[in-house]
Amino acid sequence: MSILVIIFLFFYFYNFTNILEKTSYDYQLEADEQLKLKNNSKALELLNEAILLDSNDATSFYNRGCCNYYLGDTVGACRDWVKSVSLGNKHASENVNLYCK
């Protein structure tokens, strides 16, 4: 093989694998769909993945808090909502005030 073919194949497969990598936002979108279907456990798994990729995303913490709440884990919900507030999500403070004492 010539060096040009090897270089081409390297960049082709490098770009292809980057396309396949999901972002935190991709996981959030999938979680939103699962929430709409009331598949809270699956949504929780997806939001856990989103948070692993971006631990500073207030929306993921807020939504994971909602999943936890729907699944009966109020302590986990409050922990996530408080984290969401600390990351700048003012809407999450309403849930903290309502459900976290």
Predicted confidence at residue 53, as pLDDT, reads 95
d(CA 31, CA 39): 9
Domain ranges of the chain: 23-99
Task: Please name which of 70, 80, 83, 78 lies closest in space to residue 41, comparing C-alpha atoms.
Answer: 70
Neighbour count for residue 82 (Cβ, 10 Å): 17
pLDDT tens by residue, 91-100? 999 999 999 9
Tell me which of 3.90.1640.10, 1.25.40.10, 3.40.470.10, 3.90.1150.10 is the CATH number of domain 23-99: 1.25.40.10
Q: What is the pLDDT of residues 1-38, one digit of tens each?
A: 577 666 665 666 665 545 568 899 999 999 999 999 99
